[in-house]
Structure 1
Amino acid sequence: MSLQDIAKDIRTGLAGKNFDGTLKFDCGKDGVIVLSEGGATTDDCDTDCTLQLSRENLKKLLTGKLNPMTAVMMGKIKISGDMGVAMKLGKLIS
């Protein structure tokens, strides 16, 4: 599954929900997905918070197969920037 497909699924999943702030899923050489009030895009830009993780772990995170706190503790996700924005994401995907 490409990042464009994942971004499309995120847009569908967030329909009717509000996300305050900007967050980037940085999947390294695979690219990025930026989540903002306007939805999800694969265009890179500066954000309030960045999560660095593999594309595979991103898919697991978004489908509930990867616990965010466990993933951070195990080094599967690295967070930089505003932790409050990352916490808002947790409420959306739980």
Structure 2
Amino acid sequence: MELLDINTLAFLVFFGFMAAFIDSVVGGGGLISIPALMWTGLPPLTVLGTNKVAAVMGAFTSFVTFVRSGKVDGWLIRRLFPISLIGSGVGVVTVRLIPSEFL
């Protein structure tokens, strides 16, 4: 993996903060981070994976906050988690089957 030059790194840091801010306020930070990552020339699968890691971290911190406040229904989570996990797996397999030129 090659190192990023200072201008590309500054670009990614700026748009990363902008995406995180927008995502924390109204959601949809991926609409900023995905084009910024694509502009750097990264492969589409890497861009989607990088964006998803950021989204998972944001969702996890929100989940922890809700659990601590007592607003989470454990019974519902135990029922829906397996369905979510299967859906995630199907989504990953589907994206991997699509040619990167199309993505």
TM-score range with shorter-chain normalisation?
0.3 to 0.5
The alignment's TM-score, normalised by the length of structure 1, stands at 0.32
Larger of the two Rg values belongs to structure: 2
The alignment's TM-score, normalised by the length of structure 2, stands at 0.30
Q: Which has the higher contact order (CA 8 A, sep 6+)?
A: 1
Structure with bigger helix share is 2
